[in-house]
Amino acid sequence: SADGELPPWTLRRLDAALAVDSTRYFITLSAGTFHKPLPVDAAGFPVFESVVAAQYLQRAGVDSSQVLFETCSYDTIGNAYYLRTIHTEPMQLRRLKVITSEFHMPRTQAIFEFIFSERFSTLDYELDFEVVSDKGLNEQVIAERRKREAESLQRFLARSGDVKNAAELHRWLFHEHNAYSLEGQREQLSSELLASY
């Protein structure tokens, strides 16, 4: 949100993570969203969503040595890409549980299964997915977001089929993707959709 507070659907994801047995690391993802400016703190520094989420986990009793985060990603493809390149590959973390909201899961699962596939990594990843409810978003917002998610998933599936190796994935992200390329353009989203980011 504009003040850096986590919305209820994000807190629900974190609470689901806290309920998982035998978690070696909790890894929170995302600088924020590409669709609106990052909030800033009282000193004017950016407030990263993943850092606020990591602090929530720490306040809930998770030891700081078990909490990791990344502050590079601004969308789901970036979440998966930076998770893999910053944390899971260097640390050889193969078994991952991905927790997200119901409205977001179909696209999230497709993207994570793609990014963590054998075409980009020699690690034999095991992915598990857990859905949390969309409670906290009104029905109009949910309907608009689900529609957008479905459209985004179709675009992702159409484009990702052409990406055969890590070099092509890197080229796609940093030369074509709106959130990470120099020529990237922001979409104009409705206020209803923005409420879900």
Q: Per residue, what are the HEC states of 158-195?
A: HHHCCCCCHHHHHHHHHHCCCCCCCCCCCCCCCHHHHC
The residue type found at 47 is V
Distance CA 121, CA 38 (A): 32
Sequence-ordered strand ranges (E) for the chain: 26-28, 67-69, 95-101, 126-132
Closest CA to 41 of 33, 29, 51: 51
| Burial (CB count <10 Å: 0-12, 13-18, 19+), residue 32 | buried
Question: How many angstroms from the chain centroid is the CA of residue 37?
Answer: 17
**Tokens representing residue 69 in the block:** 């985060």
- Would you state the pLDDT for residue 3? 59
- φ, ψ for residue 127, nearest 5 deg: -105, 135
Tens of each residue's pLDDT in the chain, 197 residues: 555 688 888 899 999 999 998 899 999 999 988 888 899 999 999 999 999 999 999 999 999 999 999 999 999 999 999 999 999 999 999 999 999 999 999 999 999 999 999 999 889 999 999 999 987 778 888 888 899 999 999 999 999 999 999 999 999 999 999 889 888 766 666 666 666 66
CA distance readout (Å), 22 to 48, 83, 121, 123: 27, 20, 25, 21
